[in-house]
Amino acid sequence: MKMEHAKNYINGEWVDSESGKTFQSINPANKEEVVGVVSKSGREDIDRAVQAAREAYDKWRLTPAPRRGEILFKAAEILKNKKEILGRLETREMGKVLMEGLGDVQEAIDMAYYMAGEGRRFSGETVPSELPDKDMKSLRVPIGVFALITPWNFPIAIPAWKIFPALICGNTIVFKPSSEVSVCAAKFVEILEEAGIPKGVLNLVHGSGGEVGEYLAGHPGIDAVSFTGSFEIGSRLEGICGNIHRPVVTEMGGKNVILVMEDANLDLAIEGAVWGGFGTSGQRCTAASRVTVHKKVYDTFMERFQTAASQLRLGDGLKKETDMGPVVNETQFHKILNYIDIGKDEGARLIVGGKAHREGECAKGYFIQPTIFGDVAPKMRIAQEEIFGPVVSVIRAEDVEEAIRIANGTPFGLSSAIYTQDVNKTAIAERDLDFGIVYINASTIGAEIHLPFGGIKRSGYGRKEAGGRGGALDTYSRWKVIYRDFSGRLQKAQIDK
């Protein structure tokens, strides 16, 4: 298959890193396949990208928002035409099955159309003044130059969730994607270039997070940072930005949960647990890595969950028959297997899986069997820490109150779900589950872009991505308040209202 060259994109030019160094992007389903050769940036490349974004800022912020929206609309159309190409590239570069890759691109298409429309709805408030001959209003204005740092698990959608709202609000951007999906990032930026983003407005720099990501986040030419990734890195960036009084948005990990109650429709609950736990090989921030099951249906649930998981077909995500692809890289592969050992040592009961999968062509990649632990105690490490792989912990619960206590008892708070046919239990779950997102009779995955997205506790600071009130527009713009006095009277005479 074709090997790509992913260069940096700085000030409207595709350029090698100044050092000329490169690294390879590998297909996790087949380690022998190099998907792309990528420019390895150093600090000097970041400096140039930040300078280009700074220089482009004034012109872009003064470009009328509806005009900015027209470019995003065009980007949506191009994305639509290239959906299949991008979806296939995602599968090759990070392993998710094609159907999921196409879904990822679709989110970017939806986000582009949505944000294009926001260009005409970029409204503030006009309210009456207490004083005669005065008017006042609030305006949304851009923040400046944004550093956007993204993970590998949604190679197109997460950059789109950040780039489109940042652009519509009038910011310019330096984008540092995860090294694992550099080729996807370059193809995405190519589409925005084709749509007509002016030079310098969107810059792309590849390279290691520790070397260039951190330098970018703390760079004096950056005004704000938006990060999605692990709690470890996100909290580190919060510290760096906090010390220099720089706004930072962090969307981080999860230890999401499905609650299965005694009256649940088990067909739905099993399907939700399988796709929540093993979709994207368990590598979604919203993956259902815990399931609490009411004691009355625990045995039936476990039997059916085990059967469903053992029927999943592992393989290259480009093949039609594949249900689950590999995990993203060698580090994750070993980390997940290590967690499986931890689970066994902690005394959890291994129900299915628990090993690397090396049959046939899978021997060439990083495949791990879908793994279920039963009889898990809520405080075990496998039930507390984000594993980010196809490993699900099942915990027995007495009733809805206990299930909710277990659900809330981790440091994370991104996504949760309850399966029940009792309307009262849905109301209790809606009220008491301490998560950014609650699903009712649906799995923990599958956000829509026109409601805000985000978690609490170690998952993030609240709702800052995607749309709706409190969503991305509030993240990528700030309020400016204007008071205008057209009375011509001296201020002092107006003090006594």
Q: Which residues are catalytic?
A: 251, 285
Count of positions on this chain that bind ligand NAP (CB under 6 A): 35
Q: Give 92 or 162: the residue with its C-beta nearer to ligand NAP.
A: 162
Q: In terms of CB distance, is 26 or 352 closer to ligand NAP? A: 26
Contacting range for ligand NAP; rule: CB under 6 A; set: 66-74, 130-138, 171-179, 318-326: 171-179
The least CB distance from residue 252 to ligand NAP, in Å, is 5
Rounded CA separation 138/122 (Å): 11
- Closer by beta carbon to ligand NAP, 164 or else 301: 164
Query: Taken in order 181, 184, 188, 193, is the CA torsion positive or negative?
Result: positive
When CB distances to ligand NAP are compared, the closest residue is 209
Q: Collapse the DSSP code of 74 into the 3-class scheme (helix H, G, I; strand E, B; otherwise coil) and give the result.
A: helix
**14 or 461: CB nearest ligand NAP:** 461
Taking each helix axis as running N to C, give the angle between helix 98-118 and helix 83-94, from 0 to 180 degrees, rounded to the nearest 10: 130
Write each residue from 23 to 62 as x if it is in contact with ligand NAP (CB under 6 A), else as -, in one continuous string: ----------------------------------------
CB atoms within 10 A of CB 338: 11
354/413 with CB nearer ligand NAP: 413
Report if residue 208 touches ligand NAP, rule: CB under 6 A.
Answer: yes
- In whole angstroms, the minimum distance from the beta carbon of 287 to ligand NAP comes to 8
- Cβ atoms of 397 and 378 within 8 Å: the answer is no
Give the nearer residue to ligand NAP in terms of CB position, either 213 or 277: 213
C-alpha to C-alpha distance for 383 and 342, rounded to whole angstroms: 11
Phi-psi group of 56: left, alpha or beta (phi > 0 → left; psi -120 to 50 → alpha; rest → beta): alpha
Give the helix, strand, coil percentages of the chain, each rounded to 5.
Answer: 40, 25, 35
Q: Does 371 bind ligand NAP (CB under 6 A)?
A: no
Site for ligand NAP in 259-288 (CB under 6 A): 285
Length of the chain: 497
Q: How far is the CB of 261 from ligand NAP (least distance, A)?
A: 26
Counting contacts by CB under 6 A, is residue 103 touching ligand NAP? no
Nearest in space to 255 (alpha carbons), one of 401, 454, 462, 459: 459
- Cβ contacts of 385-388, under 8 Å, gap ≥ 24: 385/255, 385/339, 386/230, 386/231, 386/253, 386/254, 386/255, 386/289, 386/412, 387/282, 387/289, 387/335, 387/336, 387/339, 388/253, 388/282, 388/283, 388/287, 388/332, 388/335, 388/336
Task: Indicate which single residue of 264, 414, 437, 466 sits in contact with ligand NAP (rule: CB under 6 A).
Answer: 414
Closer by beta carbon to ligand NAP, 196 or else 210: 210
Q: Contact, 434 vs 275, CB < 8 A?
A: no
Give the shortest CB-286-to-ligand NAP separation in angstroms. 8
CB 301 within 8 A of CB 260: yes
Q: Does 150 bind ligand NAP (CB under 6 A)?
A: yes
Element (H, E) at 44: helix 43-61
Query: Candidates 7-15, 71-79, 131-139, 175-183 — which segment interacts with ligand NAP by CB under 6 A?
Result: 175-183
* Residue among 372 and 445 whose Cβ is closer to ligand NAP: 445
455 touching ligand NAP, by CB under 6 A: yes
Q: How many beta carbons lie within 10 A of that of residue 265, not counting itself?
A: 14
- Residues between 287 and 326 with contacts to ligand NAP, criterion CB under 6 A: none
Q: Does 239 bind ligand NAP (CB under 6 A)?
A: no
CA 356 from chain center: how many Å? 27
Told to check if 132 binds ligand NAP by CB under 6 A, we report: no
Q: Does 252 bind ligand NAP (CB under 6 A)?
A: yes
Nearer to ligand NAP, 107 or 118 (CB): 107
Contact letters for ligand NAP, residues 374-393 (x by CB under 6 A): ------------x-x-----
- Least distance (Å) from ligand NAP to the CB of residue 193? 21
- Give the DSSP H/E element, type plus range, for residue 327: none
The stretch among 13-21, 248-256, 297-305, 466-474 that binds ligand NAP (CB under 6 A) is: 248-256
CA distance 180 to 196: 27
CA distance 42 to 20: 10
Would you count residue 108 as binding ligand NAP (CB under 6 A)? no
At its nearest, how many Å lie between ligand NAP and the CB of residue 257? 14
Residue 431 CB burial class (10 angstroms; 0-12, 13-18, ≥19): exposed
| Interacting residues toward ligand NAP by CB under 6 A | 149-154, 158, 176-180, 208-210, 213-214, 217, 228-230, 233, 236-237, 251-254, 285, 386, 388, 414, 455, 459-460
